[in-house]
Each structure stands twice: as C-alpha cells, then as structure tokens.
Amino acid sequence: MSLDTPQTKEVNHQVNPDRWKKVIILLTLINTVLVALIAALQTDASTRSNTASAESQYFAILLSSELLFQGMQGDYDLNTYAAVLINSQEALVLEYTALQRQVADDLTGYQSAMSEAAAAQARSERAAEFSVFLSNPRYAPESEFDLPDMDAYMAARTAVTNTLLEKQNTAADTYHIWNGKADSYVAVLTILAIAFFLLNIAQSTRPGLRLFFGTCALLVMGIASLWTLIILLQ
Amino acid sequence: MSKLDSPISLRFELLIAITIALVSLTTAVAAWRTNAVGSKASDVIQQALIDALKQEALANENWRLTYEQAGYARDYEIALAGIEALDASEDPHAMELAANLHTFLLPGLQPLGDPFISDRRYHTQEQTFDIALRFEHLQAEDPDITGLDPQASLSLAGRHWSEQRWLVTGTVLMVTSLFWLGLAQTSGRKFQLITFFFGFGLYLLGVIWLVGVEVVFMLINRGGL
C-alpha cells in the first residue's frame, strides 16, 4: 500500500527545500569553466590584437620615415636634373646670342657670349654626372633626343614605400579583426556574469522559482556558448 | 552516527575543502603571473615603439643633413666646372670673371658642402659623392640610439605574449580542476572519490604545466633554447 497520498506529497515537497540545488551547483560549476575558457579565448584574441597593433604602429613609424627620406632624395635628384636642363638651355641661348653678336660684327660681344656659353655647357655636363636620371642606366634616356625614364624612377622609389604600406595595412586589418573578437568575448563574459547572477538567485530562492531561474541561467549560458562559437568561426 | 557522517567521511570532506582552497590560491597566483607577463609585454612594446621613433627621428635628421651638404657640394662642383671653363677661354673678361668667382664665390660655398668637398672618402670613382657613406658616418656618431633594437624588443614582447597565452591555458586547467573538486564536494560518496582524484590530477597537471611554461620561457628569453 502506497503512502504517497496528496497530503504526503505536499509534506515531502515542503520538507525538501534543497530540491534542484545540486543541479544549480553543477550549472554554476559549468558556468565557471565556460568563463575560464572564454577568458582564455579573450586573452588570446587580445594578445593577437596587441601584437598586430604594435606591428601596425611600428610599420607606420618606418613608413613615415621612409616618406621623408623619399622626399629629400627626390628633391636632390630633381634639383640636380634641373641644374642640367637650366645650364644646357642657358648654353644654347648664349650660343645664339654669340651668333647674333657675330652677325652684328661685335667681336668682343661674340667672345664674351661664347665664353659664357662654354661655362654654362661645362656646368650642365658636370651636373649631368651627378644626375641619377642621366648616369643611372635604369633611368637614362636611350638617345640624346629622349627623356629619362621617370616612370621607372617613380616605381623604384615607391616600391619600398608600397611594401611598408602593405605591411602596415595588413597589420592594421589583423588588429581590427582580433580587437573585434576580443571585444565580443568581453560581451560574452558579461552575459555569463548575468548567468552567475541568475544562478545565485536560483540558489537562494524556493524550489519552484529555483527551477525557473536555473532554466533562465541555462538559456543565457546557451546563448553565450552559441555566440562564442560564432566568434570562433568568424 | 550515520555512514555519511563517519569520521573518515568528514575528514575526506575536509581534505576536499582544503584542496579547493589550495587550488583557488594557486589559480589566483597563476592569474597574477599571467597578468604580470602581459603587462611586461606591453611595457616592452611601448619601449620598442619609443626606440623606433628615436631611431627614425635620428635617421631623418641625418638624411636631411646629408642631402643638405650633398646639395651644396654638388652646387660647388657645378660652379667650379663653369669657372674652370671660363678660365680656359681666351677671353680676358671671362678669365677675370673666373678669377673673381674663384676668389669670392667658391670659398663661401665650400663650408656648406663640406665634408663632401674636402674629404676624399666621400668622392666616388665617377667623380660624384658617396652619399650613403656620409649617412653611415653620421649614424655612427650616435651609437646609443643606432644601437637600439626595436625589432628585438618586438620579438621579446611576442614571446611574453606567447608565454601569457600558455599561462592562461594552465589557469584554465586550474579552473577545470576546481569544477571537479566542487563536484566532489557536492556529489554522493559513490562518485566523490573519483571526482576528487580527477580534480586533483587536473590540478597537478596544471601546476606542472605552469612551472613548465615558466621554465621553458625563462630558457628561451635567456637564449638557452
């Protein structure tokens, strides 16, 4: 004969205020492990983001320095080439002036203009020795009627800069990806803190509500776990 | 006295409680160490970036000075070529002009272009200037800054971060051990022993892991590995 009459059940229910407590403790422990795992993932993401951030800043420093160097080198090269052009033009104009003086039977003027033309030509030739556009076979014109290969010069100059810029961009992109993940993990940890709160309430309340709060905590833990999976797969 | 309240059972529960306290303490120490290593990595990174800025600022200034001197030296050489051409002409007016330029212009230009003009080390076979050599010499004048190695600091920070990652793994082992020890505290006698030893085993594994990580990274940082 069974003793489980409705009255007995009620009495049993009343004398078992610790119902679901062990489940709640188990959930709390599982939540602790989840927090530890996600904290580890957060540290990993944060570490990767910090490394990429440092690399990005380092390459940005190198890049800005390289740009300054390129500017100084470019100034020097172009000023040297300008000296070649100006002096050679001056030599031509002075020779033309000398011819005019000769036509005008001005021998002194002719000699003076020719001397100055020779000086300008000498300056132009000396400048040409310094000019990378005329002395470097990579950029030098093929004939005296051609211009130096400015495109090749610009390509050579920007190659280093572009490589550094590419590295800097890659590091910056990596930083953004891992920083986003690290931030998301912090959000997940906050959600798990809510689960802790719910589990705490569940532990201290009566059995009926304990089940309700325990279920809510389990749901929150499920959401946090799902979100973690999504972050991992990103 | 019930079976559950026997002295052996009570002593075992006390042992579990003490173990939980020990694991909690070790976890706290591991968390502190993990944080300290991460902090050290951040310090090294900051130093690396400061060193890089110092080095690049010095290099920029040295390149600026090098090109400034090279520019004046080039102008000197160009002017000299023109003066020599005037001097070689048979025009008395040009020769006089050349003499004056030689006397008054060139001495004014020379100090600006030095040491490219007077120091033969900077003259190339092509009668131009060795700009890179001048830059090298200027860099060598500041060994304190050029001797800095930001990339080595970046590598060191990377090692610290790597160590931090491995320490976090050890901390996770500790927390997992706490999970099983907590389970031992709440479960019945049937599973209490198994869960306790599993938790304690994880704790020992965690301690070995943490000590191993510390030793390995100490050797790596000292160049032993």
pLDDT tens per residue across span B41-100: 889 988 889 999 999 999 999 999 999 999 999 999 999 999 999 888 888 888 888 888
Residues recorded for chain A: 234
pLDDT of residue A2: 44
pLDDT in tens, A170-199: 999 999 999 999 999 999 999 999 998 998
Domain count, chain B: 1
The percent of residues in chain B predicted with pLDDT above 70, rounded, is 95
| B180 falls within a domain | yes
The percent of residues in chain B predicted with pLDDT above 90, rounded, is 29
Chain A contact present for B148, CB below 8 A? no
Taking CB atoms and an 8 Å cutoff, what residues of chain B touch A73?
63, 67
Q: What is the dihedral of CA A187, A188, A189, A194, to 10 degrees?
A: 100
pLDDT in tens, A39-92: 889 888 988 898 898 889 999 999 999 999 999 999 999 999 999 999 999 999
pLDDT in tens, B112-140: 988 888 888 888 887 888 899 999 999 88
pLDDT of residue B76: 93
Q: How far is B111 from chain A (nearest CA, A)?
A: 19
| Interface test mutation site (partner A, options B87, B89, B148, B174, max chain A beta carbons within 10 A) | B89
pLDDT of residue B7: 64
Going by C-beta distance under 8 Å and a sequence separation of 6 or more, which residues neighbour residue A209?
A202
Residue A220 has pLDDT above 80, yes or no: yes
B2 vs B86: which has the higher pLDDT: B86
pLDDT in tens, B147-200: 788 888 888 888 888 898 889 888 888 888 888 888 788 777 777 888 899 889
Per-chain mean pLDDT for chain A: 86
Residue A3 has pLDDT above 50, yes or no: no
| Number of neighbouring beta carbons within 10 Å of residue A75 | 12
Domain count, chain A: 1
CB-nearest to A29 from B45, B67, B183 is B183
- For residue A166, give the CATH number of its domain: 1.10.287
What residues make up the domain containing A124? 20-233
pLDDT of residue A9: 52
Residue B1 has pLDDT above 90, yes or no: no
Structure tokens given for B14: 């006390």
What residues make up the domain containing B82? 7-221
Please, which residues bridge with residue B129 across strands? B123
| B2 falls within a domain | no
pLDDT in tens, A82-140: 999 999 999 999 999 999 988 888 888 888 889 899 999 999 999 998 888 888 888 88
Residue A142 has pLDDT above 50, yes or no: yes
| Interface test mutation site (partner A, options B91, B127, B154, B202, max chain A beta carbons within 10 A) | B91
| B1 falls within a domain | no
| A7 falls within a domain | no
| A29 falls within a domain | yes
Question: How large is the ipTM?
Answer: 0.75
Residue A113 buriedness (CB in 10 A; 0-12 / 13-18 / 19+): buried
Cβ contact, residue pair A61, B169, below 8 Å: no
Cβ contact, residue pair A122, B176, below 8 Å: no
Residue B14 has pLDDT above 50, yes or no: yes
Residue A13 has pLDDT above 60, yes or no: no
The percent of residues in chain A predicted with pLDDT above 90, rounded, is 47
User: What is the 8-class DSSP label of residue B123?
Assistant: B
Q: How far is A108 from chain B (nearest CA, A)?
A: 8
Cβ contact, residue pair B90, A111, below 8 Å: yes
Compute the distance between CA of residue B168 and CA of residue A41 in angstroms, rounded to an integer.
9
Please, which residues bridge with residue B123 across strands? B129
Search chain B and give the residue with CA nearest A79. Answer: B71
Cβ contact, residue pair B186, A79, below 8 Å: no
Chain A contact present for B157, CB below 8 A? yes
Structure tokens given for B171: 């901390």
**Taking Cα atoms as reference points, which of B172, B203, B180, B177 lies closest to residue A37?**
B172
| A74 falls within a domain | yes
Window 67-96 of B: residues touching A by CB (8 A cutoff) are 67, 70-71, 74-75, 77-86, 88-91, 93-94
| Interface test mutation site (partner A, options B90, B153, B179, max chain A beta carbons within 10 A) | B179
| A140 falls within a domain | yes
Q: How far is B62 from chain A (nearest CA, A)?
A: 10
Compute the distance between CA of residue B181 and CA of residue B203 in angstroms, rounded to an integer.
10
| A3 falls within a domain | no
Q: Find the range with the poorest average confidence among A11-15, A30-34, A158-162.
A: A11-15
